[in-house]
Amino acid sequence: MVIFRLFVILLIAFAMTLLTSFALKAETDFALESGDQFTATLLSEYGQISNFLNQGSDEKSTSYIKIEPSVFIQTQLSRHLIQLATKVSHYQFNNFSEDDHNNLLFKPSYFFKLDHNKTLFADIKLQESYEYRGTGLSLGNAESITSGDDKKSLAANIGYLYGQIDSVAKLKLSIGQEDFRYKTRRAENKALDRVDQSVAASFDYLLSGKTYFATDLAYTQSNFQNNSPLNKDIYALLVGMKWQSTAITQLQALIGYQRLTFEETLFASDTRFKWRVDINWQPTNFMQMNINTQRNYETTNRIVDSYRVVDSTNLQLTHQLTDYFQTSAVVGYKQEKVVYLEQTINEDYLYSEVRLNYQRNDWLTVFAGFTFKELTASDDRLNNQGNSLSLGFNVNI
């Protein structure tokens, strides 16, 4: 906790130095879209899943129904901007009614414009989600439990923005806390209850034209309330460039360093190369491509003491075929190195999705989709693959 407070003090000092060192050329408007807004959507989906329990053999299939209403509200009062986003996802499974569940997202946000280029912000995010059997805690052992696990997280952040979209220099500071816990099987899962406290800073400085020099700093302290040997600190530094040469191409590439240390000597400290690359390319009005790749430390999702090093790459393509038809494709590949006390296991996750949308008018979209996912691990008992088909519609109000 002393380290966390010291880091906050140093970060604030660093920010004040920057604020007095650079004269910014800023826009006179909010970076966010101003004004009052209201959007309500209703998604309904029917589908078939080939391997519901994520097993390597004896696969079990099921059909499902998904109903997902969501609402976004924004109101502006002079220099105050208030937002509320909420979404409820309801799932029912024909052959596995014990896994019927609801996911919840509730996120209010507040922005206060101190000046034309200075903004304070705060947000709270409540999220309840479901961990399917054969994933996470029950990976490779789906039939050891009678239903999946419910998870809950509550996060709060406050921060400060200095600059505008086309400023010579842009600064973002944030401080946050997240409480995470499993709601089910508490006797076992309480070992993973944790509180994360984090501090982050990002700074971009215009070198020439549309080229920015970029730096990102982040620090996270994780406290496991019922498993103190897993208490840890994560430090990360990224340095690189951001380009927006034209409206067609935007690119950011940052490389750096990350370090993981534990409060106790359960695990040795770990230091690794870190990166984050984002590419957005829109060669025509009808086609768009996005590529993202990055490396991060991630918290254990196993009862056995461990931590994860995750390299992820995602590719997304969208193509507007006609005024009414649009196709999209997503391919994601994630390499996880799961570090235990006695061994290290590699897990490679592949995910792909193809989707066809038919937008009949401004308020109704009909879609059909196909997904494929596969896990290949150094422990053969974890290997599995499956696919799903879906058909549904989305109504916007």
Domain-wise residue ranges, the chain: 35-192
- pLDDT for 118-161, tens place per residue? 999 999 999 999 999 999 999 999 999 999 999 999 999 999 99
Confidence check: pLDDT of 314 > 50: yes
Q: Is 206 in a helix, a strand, or coil? A: strand
Mean pLDDT for the chain?
Answer: 91
Whose tokens are 């393509």? That residue is: 317
Q: How far is CA 92 from CA 46, 54, 70, 151, in A?
A: 10, 17, 18, 18
At residue 31 the predicted structure's pLDDT band, cuts being 50, 70 and 90, is low
- Cβ atoms of 71 and 100 closer than 8 Å: no
Residue 222's CB is within 10 A of a number of other CB atoms, namely 23
Phi-psi region of 81 (alpha: psi -120 to 50; beta: other; left: phi over 0): beta
pLDDT at 195 over 80: yes
Length of the chain: 397
pTM comes to 0.88
Nearest to 354 by CA among 314, 312, 390, 394: 390
pLDDT in tens, 215-248: 999 999 999 999 999 999 999 999 999 997 677 8
